[in-house]
Amino acid sequence: MNRAYRFAYLLLPTIIMTSSVEAKILSERNDLELEKTWNEEDPRFESTASLQARKDPIFIAGIKYSFDERDFVNRWGREYELTIPVSGDSGENQLIFDIEAAVEGNGFYNDGFECHKYYPQPGGMVLIGSGYPPDCHRMTVNPRNQFKFIVNIDVKCSGIPIGNESDDKNSLLSSQEVREIKETMERWISQGRYIFDSVIDRHRSINLIVDNELNTGGDCESLTVKISGRSGTTISKIDLDVTISERF
């Protein structure tokens, strides 16, 4: 191997193709409808108010306001963000925040798929784990046994931290599940199929709660709720309840 090729080879990292399931997740982007409609009823007189117009404020009055994934800005199913005007922070008393999110979505497992491609070099062939199907000289499947479903909720009011919580439904795949993934994907590859479905059920659900009591000094004017999927987790459904009251 001449010097130039040797130098290029040393600098070239081994590139392992992003798992096909990950690619599948990224391709299944839920471009949810973001256009809002006005709620014509006054939320101050509702026990549960569904505010679809972000210009409508929520009132600090112990009222429960409900939202779902359509009310959020959706960033490719990985992160949802909702910003709501808040009215009624006098700054004189403690505010009680009660926020609960029921979240559903798909977790992630690494199927261990690699597309190997040979590049001719002086003095022989060099195997580099790169390329994309069907442009592969050899394909291998070595599934990992870790399943991850992780969701985080972060709440701020006008930049003031209210609470941050994470929970997960992580688990270890059984040897039977790992074998099923490997055998199924190898069968698909032998059939010339390179866009893979999920072999096992990835759907999970989780509940996240943020409870806090603090004095925001009259500065709580805009509540921001961010719900994020971590480690490959994608989110498909959110039911969010928000209640802000004042301690007298």
CATH number at residue 71: 2.60.120
Q: Label residue 21 exposed, middle or buried (CB < 10 Å: 0-12, 13-18, 19+).
A: buried
Q: Write down the pLDDT at residue 237.
A: 96
Q: Is residue 90, in this structure, part of any structural domain at all?
A: yes
The reported pLDDT for the residue numbered 23 is: 34
Give the pLDDT of residue 27.
Answer: 33
Residue 46 lies in a domain: yes
- How far is Cα 71 from Cα 52, in angstroms, rounded to an integer? 6
Q: What is the pLDDT of residue 54?
A: 54
Q: Which of 103, 43, 50, 54 is nearest to 82 (CA)?
A: 54
Q: Whole domain around residue 159: which residue ranges?
A: 37-111+143-247
**Within-domain flag for 96:** yes
Are 134 and 171 spatial neighbours (Cβ–Cβ below 8 Å)? no
Residue-by-residue pLDDT tens, the chain, 248 positions:
443 333 333 333 333 333 333 333 333 333 323 222 223 333 333 334 444 445 689 999 999 999 999 999 998 889 999 999 999 999 899 999 999 999 999 999 999 988 888 877 777 767 676 777 888 888 889 999 999 999 999 999 999 999 999 999 999 999 999 999 999 999 999 998 888 888 999 999 999 999 999 999 999 999 999 999 999 999 999 999 999 999 88
Burial class (CB in 10 A: 0-12, 13-18, 19+), 81: middle
Decide if 218 is inside a domain: yes
Is-contact 79 227, C-beta < 8 A?
Answer: yes
238 in any annotated domain: yes
**Rounded to whole angstroms, how far apart are CA atoms 226 and 56?**
19
Query: What pLDDT does 123 receive?
Result: 74
Inside any domain, residue 155: yes
Residue 2 lies in a domain: no
**Total number of domains in the chain:** 1
* Inside any domain, residue 31: no
Burial-class residue 89 by CB neighbours within 10 Å (0-12, 13-18, 19+).
Answer: buried
User: Full-prediction pTM beyond 0.75?
Assistant: no
Instruction: Please give the DSSP secondary-structure letter assigned to residue 86.
Output: E
pLDDT score, position 129: 62
